[in-house]
């Protein structure tokens, strides 16, 4: 006879938080949402942390380089989807790592003998308006000048005009010496009222650019998630099929962390993938695993060496795995059991392995519930798919703007690797749907509102940090009628013009 669990499979919607004592010091501005991203030993500090406890789902309709840049700028992390060619995925990783580095390697370079036509074409190709002019047209050639959009007028100047005739020559450039600090470079930028500072070595070879806009961006986004070289951090999804080819390319591209993307992570395939990373990169390359929904799955992946573990099967808004296969578990119940197993593992082994709650978030307060129930951070798809920065189209449907959103298990995504059980390379049946989500605007604007709600709720619980929330939060089950009571009821709502 099968093992039958006595407890009910419950969702976040079946719980509420009970207020705790809110001290005078417990105000939103003092709340810390920093949380560990990877495992660490007792008494030590994790090598990677998130400043905002959110990561975006490994989905075609959610996580590309644009989302990765926007989310990292706001303290979170994107795992760029792996259901694409290795070349395309690695190029997205490179774009994120090069987007803001403080010291930026020049990706737009020409020689003095090129023409304005070449400048215009290069700008259209790369999107960069600052072009380094070097003796050989490479990113590290001898710097002879610089071209910006202020140096030419395509509507009036001849496209055959030589770059040397309109560039700002080296003799008139303000430059920085290779080896100076970022603070020193920014001081030069401000003192000389310039927008870009070329960094050169003793032989006048171009090494980097430092841009004023990056300084301004950092001041406006103090939670930026940066690596040791001041570059945005980015993750990437991998599968258990082509990982021996994909992972080395992603590492070469500069990826910070990997995550195995699978609907069922309790498998030997995942253990072998983690082993490949450990054998080839030791502990320097981090890799998360999942998804699982019980203590057995957690312990298996923990012993396999996962740096974090994702919890959740079938809880996503576009996921129909439970409907198609009868596999899964209510997200709240799964999270509570896995968090308990994580804490037991920590006490026994002295290793804390962060858990990521993936799916089941409908309301913003569900995020606080997930954190209180033991999650260290949350992976979300629908939430991020609504924003300008997601890779899908904005459409007008039924008089309202929407964005496209489809599951990795849908025929549109054709991500058979995510649902592969070791058989033929095809999608035998769908485990996801193709849909729309209401368009919501810019990520930053919406995220600020969401984080404001989270901090306010944590204040009501009396917690100043996520770790404290886990310790002191009080949670209660709710009935269906109390859910109705919690919303507007027994009144006639006024119609509002939108």
What tokens were used for 5?
């669990």
Three-state DSSP state, 231: coil
What tokens were used for 445?
């604007």
Which residues, in sequence order, are CB contacts of 271 under 8 Å at separation 6+? 300, 301, 304
User: Using an 8 Å Cβ cutoff, are 441 and 387 in contact?
Assistant: yes
Residue among 148, 91, 153 at smallest CA distance from 122: 148
User: Using an 8 Å Cβ cutoff, are 285 and 313 in contact?
Assistant: no
Beta pairing partners, 355: 309
E strands present in 360-422: 377-380, 394-397, 400-406
**Residue of 356, 418, 459, 461 marked catalytic:** 418
Distance of CA 416 to the CA centre of its chain: 23
User: With the C-alpha atoms ordered 354, 358, 360, 362, is the resulting torsion angle positive or negative?
Assistant: positive
What angle is formed at CA 330 by the lines to CA 329 and CA 331, rounded to 5 degrees? 105
Phi, psi of 397 (to 5 degrees): -130, 120
Residue 227: half-sphere exposure toward Cβ, Cα within 13 Å: 18
241 is catalytic: no
150 is catalytic: no
Look-up of token digits 């809110």: 22
CA distance 260 to 292: 12
**Residue of 259, 319, 356, 461 marked catalytic:** 319
Sheet of strand 394-397, all strands in order from the earlier edge strand to the far edge: 394-397, 400-406, 434-438
Task: Give catalytic residues, as residue numbers.
Answer: 319, 418
């Amino acid at each position: 006879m099968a093992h039958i669990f006595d407890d009910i499979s419950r969702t976040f919607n079946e719980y509420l938080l009970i207020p705790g004592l809110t001290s005078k010091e417990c105000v939103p501005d003092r709340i810390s949402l920093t949380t560990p991203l990877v495992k660490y030993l007792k008494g030590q500090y994790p090598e990677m942390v998130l400043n905002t406890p959110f990561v975006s789902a490994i989905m075609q309709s959610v996580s590309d380089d644009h989302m990765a840049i926007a989310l990292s700028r706001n303290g979170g992390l994107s795992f760029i989807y792996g259901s694409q060619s290795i070349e395309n995925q690695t190029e997205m990783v490179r774009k994120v790592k090069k987007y803001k580095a403080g010291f930026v390697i020049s990706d737009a370079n020409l020689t003095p003998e090129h023409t304005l036509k070449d400048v215009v074409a290069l700008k259209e190709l790369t999107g960069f308006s600052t072009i380094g002019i070097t003796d050989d047209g490479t990113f590290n050639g001898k710097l002879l000048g610089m071209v910006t959009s202020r140096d030419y007028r395509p509507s009036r100047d001849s496209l055959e005009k030589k770059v040397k005739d309109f560039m700002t020559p080296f003799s008139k450039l303000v430059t920085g010496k290779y080896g100076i600090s970022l603070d020193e470079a920014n001081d030069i930028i401000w003192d000389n009222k310039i927008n870009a500072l070329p960094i050169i070595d003793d032989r006048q070879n171009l090494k980097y650019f430092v841009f004023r806009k990056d300084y301004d961006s950092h001041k406006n986004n103090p939670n930026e998630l940066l690596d040791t070289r001041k570059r945005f951090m980015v993750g990437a999804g991998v599968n258990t099929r082509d990982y021996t080819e994909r992972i080395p390319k992603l590492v070469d591209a500069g990826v910070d962390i990997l995550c195995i993307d699978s609907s069922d992570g309790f498998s030997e395939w995942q253990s072998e993938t983690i082993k490949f990373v450990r054998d080839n990169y030791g502990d320097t390359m981090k890799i998360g695993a999942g998804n699982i929904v019980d203590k057995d799955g957690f312990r298996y992946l923990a012993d396999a060496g996962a740096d974090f573990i994702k919890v959740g099967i079938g809880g996503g808004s576009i996921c129909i795995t439970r409907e198609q296969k009868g596999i899964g578990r209510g997200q709240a119940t799964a999270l509570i059991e896995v968090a308990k197993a994580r804490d037991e593992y920590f006490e026994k082994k002295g290793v804390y392995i962060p858990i990521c709650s993936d799916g089941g978030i409908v309301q913003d307060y569900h995020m606080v519930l997930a954190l209180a129930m033991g999650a260290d951070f949350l992976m979300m798809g629908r939430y991020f798919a609504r924003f300008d920065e997601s890779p899908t189209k904005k459409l007008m449907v039924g008089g309202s703007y929407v964005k496209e959103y489809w599951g990795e298990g849908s025929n549109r995504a054709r991500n058979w690797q995510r649902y592969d059980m070791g058989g033929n390379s095809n999608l035998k049946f769908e485990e996801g749907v193709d849909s729309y989500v209401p368009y919501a605007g810019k990520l930053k604007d919406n995220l600020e509102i969401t984080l404001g709600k989270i901090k306010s709720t944590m204040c009501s619980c009396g917690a100043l940090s996520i770790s404290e929330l886990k310790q002191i939060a009080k949670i209660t089950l709710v009935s269906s009628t109390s859910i109705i009571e919690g919303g507007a009821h027994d009144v006639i709502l006024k119609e509002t013009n939108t």
